[in-house]
């Protein structure tokens, strides 16, 4: 990975499992303790259309429909975070996709686990590239 001095923005979602479990504050605490700043924050109940746009890359995969059902099962907290290398940095804070495999110390490793069901419920989403971040910020915060 190349280092960069340009300040980045990343789109973070606290998914319905995290919201239901009252982990919104804990996730935001970790983001701020790391040193990233909050540029936008909102509690939203996502529409199917928003989720289909957000997860377009996964359309057709076996977990796609369960993922959309899960993500529309309740409110989420959407945030835009800012800072140098925050895209890669937040993915590092989040940990591996599957909570069972995510390292202790990470959000998914400390706060997540495998539950019954097809989709991996893993508390947070974070953009995976500058291109994804700008695209996703447009979906969740069209006013930005």
Residues 115 and 117: their CA atoms lie apart, in Å, by: 6
**In the complex, minimum distance from the CB of residue 97 to ligand IDP, in angstroms, rounded to a whole number:** 4
SS3 assignment, position 62: coil
125 counts as catalytic: yes
User: Smaller CB distance to ligand IDP: residue 24 or 143?
Assistant: 24
First-to-last alpha carbon distance for the chain, in angstroms, is 28
- In the complex, the smallest distance separating the C-beta of residue 55 from ligand IDP, rounded to whole angstroms, is 7
In the complex with ligand IDP, the residue whose CB is nearer, 36 or 121, is: 121
Interaction site with ligand IDP (CB under 6 A): 58, 63, 67, 97, 119-120, 122, 125, 128
Q: Annotated catalytic residue: which of 12, 119, 125, 127?
A: 125
Size of the chain, expressed as the number of residues it contains: 144
129-140 as b/e, with b when 16 or more CB fall inside 10 Å?
A: eeebbeebbebb
DSSP state at residue 74: S
Rounded to the nearest 5°, which phi and psi values hold at 117? 125, 165
> Which residue bears the tokens 């509690």?
43
In the complex, least distance from residue 5 CB atom to ligand IDP, rounded to whole angstroms: 25
Q: Given the complex with ligand IDP, which of 13 and 80 has the nearer CB atom?
A: 13
Q: Closest separation between CB of residue 90 and ligand IDP, Å?
A: 11
Cβ nearer to ligand IDP, comparing 87 with 119: 119
List, by residue number, the catalytic residues.
125
């Amino acid at each position: 990975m190349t280092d960069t001095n340009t300040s980045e923005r990343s789109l973070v979602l606290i998914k319905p499992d995290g919201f239901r479990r009252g982990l919104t504050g804990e996730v935001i605490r970790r983001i701020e303790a790391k040193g990233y700043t909050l540029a936008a924050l909102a509690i939203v109940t996502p529409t199917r259309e928003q989720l289909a746009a957000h997860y377009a890359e996964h359309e057709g995969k076996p977990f796609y429909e369960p993922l959309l059902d899960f993500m529309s099962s309740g409110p989420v907290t959407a945030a835009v975070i800012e800072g140098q290398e925050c895209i890669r940095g937040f993915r590092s804070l989040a940990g591996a996709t599957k909570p069972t495999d995510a390292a202790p110390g990470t959000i998914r490793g400390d706060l997540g686990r495998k539950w019954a069901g097809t989709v991996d419920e893993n508390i947070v989403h974070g953009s995976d590239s500058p291109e994804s971040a700008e695209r996703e910020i447009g979906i969740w915060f069209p006013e930005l």
